[in-house]
Structure 1
């Protein structure tokens, strides 16, 4: 029954209609309220629907009992469930994800899918910052709704600034990426600027999507979402060790990572393949 229903819901026209043509911000706020509700009358059916529709794997979760849907989304893993690739020159995946478009940034041009380019200086509001990665590397990492939603430092880093950019909340699944031009540049997002101990730069851009009630950054302030803190750039000087938690989404979404031209993505990356937090993804 589940497989048949999912085949119907994943038909491109129907999926796009259901996930993008309804009032996106209203739906996002509504899901956020439902997810935060701890009363069993709301929480139990919400959790049951999540497990039914989202292919949730809780085999490595710290607990499988949740008081709310939000608790399920932001669950922690049991100790040792993820190990991060060792070595100062190895860059790890910051999250569990499906690998999306990846490769060279071509003179400031990036692809959300084949044939759908966007400009890095549209995604990153600071043109000078975007120019530093204009011939670098990028990898798109999509977190599905059933995945582990926390993300971690891909290397030993010092976070130098975070810029919050308000925006829309289009779905970020492959169906929408093939239909909505410059989708990541339209959506709500954060730009995390960081460097490793040798001064090599890295950008992490968490992109919100429909039903993503918030992006929270552990190294800044987990009590308030980025949306509540308001738009703009916040300078900081925060050291995070490889594998340390950096934040979470309160639903599945996407992280786009950018590396300079001196780095290189691993040859084994394949679009559509799953990757786990901590697996090697690139080398300085």
Structure 2
């Protein structure tokens, strides 16, 4: 049993205090530095403490030894560890995750959790985004600290634009989501707009969180984070195959996937479901 499970009975108040009432930006910068230290004692202690607080399983990792905690956190998996559903009517999950709020966008409102909505315009200040996904579909995918942290193209697509949005580094765990209104609209995030061969627009919104708060985008050779000072909006035309790696998170976080209203959530996708890269997420009728 992990230390995290032993501490569960202490209650949500202490959990929220420990993860959200510390100096978030300072803690994020410090852990970001510490995670990349390659000194063996620091590396082993960091990974050991991480194991105490999570259900970390490295059995699927491509390599057995890591140069740092960061190297372990952003690990690749063995070939074939995440089979990709090749059904052309299926849009697959871009990441390993626990499903949060999901379903139909209610006009321009999306649920963070039950009873706490936020507006599309608050998440992404772009009139086209609001027009495209008004009454559309969405699913919130939460990556826990022990999960595989790379994310992949949900379908054959062309990445047309990436927008970097600066913000805070709140924890995105369920406790914080129930207490902090419009949390996803406050945090560091990227907006990745992709177009399918059918012409439909699918948008991924990776949301960073406390402790590191960086998002690596391989297809642009770019790392977004608190120190990023480049262009806010980056037009591009990058072709990706279904299941091809797009990048990674440098800490557990969230990806919100938006699809037009003609898409349907795959049967069985509901809050609390665990899903893996390549498994069915949406179906195009």
- Above 0.5 in TM-score? yes
Partner of 1:51: 51
Per-residue Cα deviation, 1:138-193 (whole angstroms, up to 9, x for no partner) = 00000000000000000001000000000001110000000000000000000000
Matched, 1:225 2:215: no
Q: Give 1:69-80 correspondences, 5 Å limit.
A: 69-80=69-80
Matched, 1:107 2:104: no
Distance 1:4 1:27, change over 3 A: closer
Partner of 2:24: 24
Indicate conservation of the 8 Å contact 1:121/1:131, yes or no.
Answer: no
Distance 1:4 1:47, change over 3 A: closer
Distance 1:10 1:33, change over 3 A: farther
**Bigger shift: residues 251-260 or 226-235:** 226-235
Distance 1:262 1:92, change over 3 A: same
Q: Secondary structure at the match of 2:269?
A: coil
In 2, distance between residues paired with 1:149 and 1:11? 27
- When the two chains are superposed, the root-mean-square deviation of aligned CA atoms in Å is 1.5
**Bigger shift: residues 237-246 or 41-50:** 41-50
Distance 1:158 1:60, change over 3 A: same
Please, what TM-score do these two structures have when normalized by structure 1?
Answer: 0.96
In 1, distance between residues paired with 2:123 and 2:108? 11
Partner of 1:90: 90
Indicate conservation of the 8 Å contact 1:142/1:255, yes or no.
Answer: yes
Q: Secondary structure at the match of 1:181?
A: coil
In 2, distance between residues paired with 1:52 and 1:3? 5
Shift in Å, 1:127: 2.2
Distance 1:151 1:9, change over 3 A: farther
Regions of 4+ moved over 3 Å? 1-6, 224-227
Partner of 1:116: 116
Distance 1:257 1:40, change over 3 A: same
Per-residue Cα deviation, 1:43-73 (whole angstroms, up to 9, x for no partner) = 1100111122111111211123111000111
Per-residue Cα deviation, 1:93-137 (whole angstroms, up to 9, x for no partner) = 000000100000010100010000000111012122222101100
Distance 1:5 1:97, change over 3 A: closer
Matched, 1:65 2:71: no
Q: Which runs of 5 or more structure 1 residues have no equivalent in the other structure?
A: none
In 1, distance between residues paired with 2:64 and 2:205? 30
Partner of 2:201: 201
Please, what TM-score do these two structures have when normalized by structure 2?
Answer: 0.95
Shift in Å, 1:7: 2.6
Q: Which runs of 5 or more structure 2 residues have no equivalent in the other structure?
A: none
Partner of 2:155: 155
Q: Give 1:154-173 correspondences, 5 Å limit.
A: 154-173=154-173
Q: Secondary structure at the match of 2:41?
A: helix
Shift in Å, 1:87: 2.0
